[in-house]
Amino acid sequence: MVFVGDGKGADALKPFWKRLKSSRAKIEAVAMDMSPAYLSAVQANLRQAVIVFDHFHVVKLSNEKLSDLRRQFYREAKDQLHRDVLKGTRWLLLKNPENLDPTRDEAKRLDEALRLNQPLATAY
């Protein structure tokens, strides 16, 4: 069953819950974004269903956290070498490894940044 409602809050799902009850459908999984309102509504109404977050929002959140972490390490870096290595690595961290440009030594620059900063390498 697919449902598209108006609004972003849990109230937007009320027509869905009504339709779902009358259909007697057995919902095994729900694919959704990471909205706290939707999450709590689904958990309250479909306790047995597996919740699957959509790929776009998972990757977006992961990339935001990785960028925030890199900025934090840059600000905290005492050594100019560490700052120089971290500077300009944001896009290297966010690129797919197969898209790193060998003519610009992007893989080497990324490896060096990760080697000098273990917490960033772990997050990556």
- Residue 78's CB is within 10 A of a number of other CB atoms, namely 6
pTM score over 0.75: no
Confidence at 66, pLDDT banded by 50, 70, 90:
very high
Q: Is it the case that residue 1 has pLDDT exceeding 80? A: no
Buried b (16+ CB within 10 A) or exposed e, 88-102: ebeebbeeeeeebee
Mean pLDDT across the chain: 89
Strands (E) across 6-99 are located at 29-32, 50-53
pLDDT of residue 98: 93
The token pair at 37 is 């309102």
Q: pLDDT tens for residues 20-29?
A: 888 888 899 9
pLDDT above 70 as % of the chain: 100
Q: Find the farthest-apart pair of alpha carbons in the chain and give their distance in angstroms, rounded.
A: 65
Indicate the domain borders of the chain.
10-53, 58-123
